[in-house]
A and B are shown apart, each in its own frame.
Chain A
């Protein structure tokens, strides 16, 4: 169904807020902070998206989901732009989204962690290992099983109190 009037960019942002991340459906692509810009040029809605991890296979699915969602709202011409800089950081995940992640069973990223990238080993040797709270029972008695988890953006942890394994959304 064709629309003769173009939506406002604000309207597009609202629609995008309903597009779930394909891997973590409780948060949207806007919650994740990967939609960097929406603009309209020559009747084309342009959505700038930045990848989380550079090899993340979800990137192309996300782009397809955005195109589909906007098409469903009657937007005929959509263009997705991939933008690399400024590069995505877990700091762009909002507080509300962090709470949604926790309720879903994924420990949200530590805000202090992003700045330590590149000095991870050094900080750990200095006793600065990150404390990650269990998303189920809240205990901080947890241990890292592996820095690499079920998707590129997650690490595998285990709770020593409730004994449940869980994912931690690692900082970049």
Chain B
């Protein structure tokens, strides 16, 4: 705000205009009381999937089969944690109870998490990790592509930023799925096994519920089922090139994004991830 003497300045209108321009985009959705619970939870779904996958991928740091992969996985984990900060940061703002991204990440229990079951699955071998990454990345890129045009400017600006980074993620995971699928007999066998294992978990990413409906009606995000055709096209193309067989099973394991039924693995991730902040709240160094 201009101070009192500034009010006499001739360019006061210009100053006011400039000040308004410099605020974060005004977004009527953020303060819509009716939409608040759904939007908060939807933002947690976005942030929690990034957070848990980022944490899973970071487990490879220092353990990958080759140095370049180690670096790539650490970089991708970092991008995902960066996205988490933006999504959960906005979630906290929408909720309006003074919780920031850290409070949401470190002080919620497993039942409050809204991530897909797919991302909490254990890493397994590098093939299993890369297959999970590809199935997620192929969803992620389509999700973000749609969100760039969200009616919520705050959501759109996060998506625009993240989309650029995720382009590199999907590029890499698709390449590696092809290389390992169409590699040796052993790598092919492992990739097919990973694909079969992840498939019904991946199907959760396209399930719609009432919350998705509310957010879709507000023009914020497309229904998850609407992302399926583009995902199918990319997945089919890559699997064909990788000489892998797409499982014929539309069953979706549910319970992750609604928080109703997480796998037993989530609690273990949280125990490790949250220990320090739970034992020493607000510790900093």
User: Interface residues, chain A, CB within 8 Å of chain B?
Assistant: 37, 39, 41-43, 46, 48, 51, 53-57, 81, 83-89, 117-121, 145-150, 152, 156, 170, 172
**Using Cβ atoms and an 8 Å threshold, which residues of chain A touch B85?**
54-55
- The answer to whether A57 touches B78, judged by C-beta atoms less than 8 angstroms apart, is yes
> Would you mind naming 24 contact pairs between A and B with Cβ atoms under 8 Å apart?
A37-B22, A48-B22, A53-B79, A53-B82, A54-B83, A54-B162, A56-B82, A83-B24, A84-B24, A85-B153, A85-B160, A86-B160, A87-B157, A87-B161, A89-B164, A117-B164, A117-B167, A118-B141, A118-B145, A119-B167, A121-B175, A147-B72, A147-B172, A149-B75
B interface, over-half SS: helix
- Is there contact, CB below 8 Å, between B164 and A87? yes
Apart from A85-B156, A170-B168, what are 5 other A-B pairs with CB-CB below 8 Å? A56-B82, A84-B160, A85-B157, A120-B167, A156-B68
Complexed CA–CA distance, A157 and B163 (Å):
24
Residues of B29-80 at the interface with A, using a CB-CB cut-off of 8 Å, are: 68-69, 71-72, 75-76, 78-80
Determine if B174 and A121 form an interchain contact, defined as CB atoms under 8 angstroms apart: yes
Q: Is the CB of B2 within 8 A of A41?
A: yes
Q: Which residue from chain A places its CB closest to the CB of B3 in the assembled complex?
A: A42
Give the one of A57, A146, A156 with max B CB within 10 A.
A146
CB distance from A152 to the nearest CB of B (A): 5
The answer to whether A84 and B158 touch across the interface, beta carbons within 8 angstroms, is: yes
Q: CA of A42 to CA of B171 in the docked complex: distance in angstroms?
A: 47
Q: In the complex the two chains form, is A81's CB within 8 Å of B175's CB? A: no
Asked if A146 and B22 make an inter-chain contact with CB atoms under 8 angstroms apart, the answer reads no
In the complex, what residues of B have CB within 8 A of residue A83's CB? Answer: 24
Which chain B residues lie closer than 8 Å to A51 at the CB level?
82, 161
Of A48, A51, A55, A120, most buried by chain B (CB within 10 Å of CB) is A55
How distant is B213 from chain A, measured CB to nearest CB, in Å?
A: 27
User: Is residue B236 within 8 Å, beta carbon to beta carbon, of the partner chain?
Assistant: no
Q: At the interface, yes or no: B86 with Cβ under 8 Å from chain A?
A: yes
Q: Which of B71, B83, B141 contacts A149 (CB 8 A)?
A: B71
Contact between B22 and A39, CB atoms less than 8 A apart: yes
| Nearest neighbor of A153 in chain B, beta-carbon distance | B75
Q: Are A121 and B86 in contact (CB under 8 A)?
A: no
Contact status A84-B161, CB under 8 Å: yes
CB distance from B107 to the nearest CB of A (A): 21
Which of B18, B75, B82 is close to A39, meaning CB atoms less than 8 Å apart?
B18
Q: Which residues of B contact A56 (CB under 8 A)?
A: 78, 82
